[in-house]
Amino acid sequence: MIKVLFVCLGNICRSPMAEAIFRQKVKEAGLEDKFSIDSAGTGNWHIGNRPHEGTLQILKDKNIDSANITARQVSSEDLKEFDYIIAMDAENLGNLHRIKGREASGEIRRLLDFIPESEVVDVPDPYFTGNFEEVYDLVEEACNELLTYIRKKELQ
């Protein structure tokens, strides 16, 4: 089982959007039985909450399932359990490296690293910008590339 964890600050905007989009792409590829996909936040403000209404709306508009996604905080155990820990920005990437400990075994990367030609390196936080469409476009493209990367590395 390939385990993928998406991480942002509060786990209500970017990372649950990435979780839902990536889950959809894995389903479309017929690989659901090979993946476990989740999301978490480095902060604890929204634990137990559903995603932000902007995230829920854009996922609904794009016909992407967001059922059963609730905010939680990332733990050091996650960094041992997941194979790919995908941060939405440099701040969360740094937070992950600080909490990972010596036993962390997962590959920790920034999502937009998978789009090398992108001029944007961090997924903007729509909680502050309000631009959920821009975030969707970036996350959707990067999730395509992430799935291609994982398939080449794990499923060849």
* Catalytic residue numbers, as ranges: 8, 14, 125
User: In the chain, at which residue ranges do the beta strands (DSSP E only) sit?
Assistant: 2-8, 35-41, 84-87, 107-110
Q: Which residue has the tokens 């992407």?
A: 64
